[in-house]
Structure 1
Amino acid sequence: MTSFLTKFHSRRDKLRSLLCIGIDPELEKLPQVCLDSKSPLVYFTETIVRYTHPYAVSWKPNIAFFERLGTEGYFALEHMVHLMKEISPEVPILMDAKRGDLANTSKEYAKYFFQTLKVDALTVNPYMGRDSLLPYLDLGGTIFVLGLTSNSSSADFQKLKTNANGLYLYEEVSDQMVRLGESYPGQVGLVVGGTHPSEIQSLRNRHPNLCFLIPGYGAQGGDLDAIMKASGKEALINSSRGITMSSLAENFGEVAKKKAEEVHLQMNQLFS
């Protein structure tokens, strides 16, 4: 299996872009043409994937928007992943599920995402420690561990100082993930919110080679120029609603493609 980083680097260098396209299909906010179809999530995701794949350096579906619909949602999720592999096999799939549980439970999650779905990477929560992360790595998958997230309450825990060395908790997480990555080369990345450009720069200085997943650009207000200057090339910058929900008209796929192209061209100009 080609690793996530290998696919990412190849796609990044080909497109001269860091654009990760997030797919968060909130049912109530989908275009009416989707809601009128037999399977709204299938219609929406299929359209988005077909129209925007030329500009995707990575895909990032958020599983919550599928799980809420039960069987129908899981069908749509698995159909979408199959379609992504068929249409754009060179684009790595990063499933946003933020899993974090005991090792025996993590092993089952890992089997679903990396053996059944065969996605390339997964977001995970490190709160339960190293042994909760190893099952994903032992199956050969790549994980992006929550470090400093983009939401407004992220500081509640992530910016607490640790007693041992006075680091913020998110800095300690980043250090431990780099050490974990020494045992699993190319399989460990860090989630850092795009609403924290100065912290992105600090973490990049601290860890020059650690791959970042950066949500929070676009609808959440992150500034692309500041993010790219801080992150460097070893980063995926995610845009979800800003691309996929940019229109409710029947031609929403064409509008999403145009928006993805606009972001792609912006990244091209900042890529160095």
Structure 2
Amino acid sequence: MSFIEKLTRRWEQANSLLCVGLDPVLDRLPASLREQSPNIAELLFAFNQAIIDATHEFAAAFKPQVAFYSAEGEGGEEALERTVRYIHETYPDIPVILDAKRGDIGSTA
């Protein structure tokens, strides 16, 4: 099945065109979450997992933005990998759009 076919099928299943952006900024995570662990990968993944689990019913797709993860170094890269793997394993019918463009807005420069 092509990506477009998968996305179209998901639009129909969810009756929604919602694309959930997963663009975490470490400093903006809730303090209660930041206090749970000093591990960047754990924090970012836990934040993403909560968003994914809360929105999967309505999501036509999930879209992590690579620049937000790259900004956090190895921990960010690990969180991105874990996030994509989690979506594929837990919600395999929901497509993942990896947003890898840079410099289109200030936060991705």
Q: TM-score interval w.r.t. the shorter chain?
A: 0.7 to 0.9
Deviations 1:96-149 (A, max 9, x none): 1116xxxxxxxxxxxxxxxxxxxxxxxxxxxxxxxxxxxxxxxxxxxxxxxxx7
Unaligned runs of 5+ in 1: 100-148, 152-272
Query: When you count helix as a share of all residues, which structure comes out higher?
Result: 2
Distance (Å, rounded) in 2 between the aligned partners of 1:16 and 1:72: 35
Q: 1:67 aligns with which of 63, 67, 70?
A: 70
Distance (Å, rounded) in 2 between the aligned partners of 1:3 and 1:27: 34
Unaligned runs of 5+ in 2: none
* SS of equivalent to 2:98: strand
* Residue aligning to 1:42: 45
Query: When you count strand as a share of all residues, which structure comes out higher?
Result: 1
- Tell me: higher relative CO, structure 1 or 2? Use CA pairs within 8 A at least 6 residues apart: 2
Structure 1 residue 8 corresponds to structure 2 residue 14: no
Per-residue deviation at 1:18? 0.8
Q: TM-score, normalised by structure 1?
A: 0.35
- Runs of at least 4 residues off by over 6 Å: none
Distance (Å, rounded) in 2 between the aligned partners of 1:33 and 1:5: 39
Q: Using the aligned pairs only, state the percent identity.
A: 37
Q: Over alpha carbons, which structure has the higher Rg?
A: 1
Tell me if the contact between 1:58 and 1:94 (Cα under 8 Å) persists in the aligned partners.
yes
* Residue aligning to 1:222: none
Aligned residues: 100
The CA RMSD over aligned residues, in Å, is: 1.6
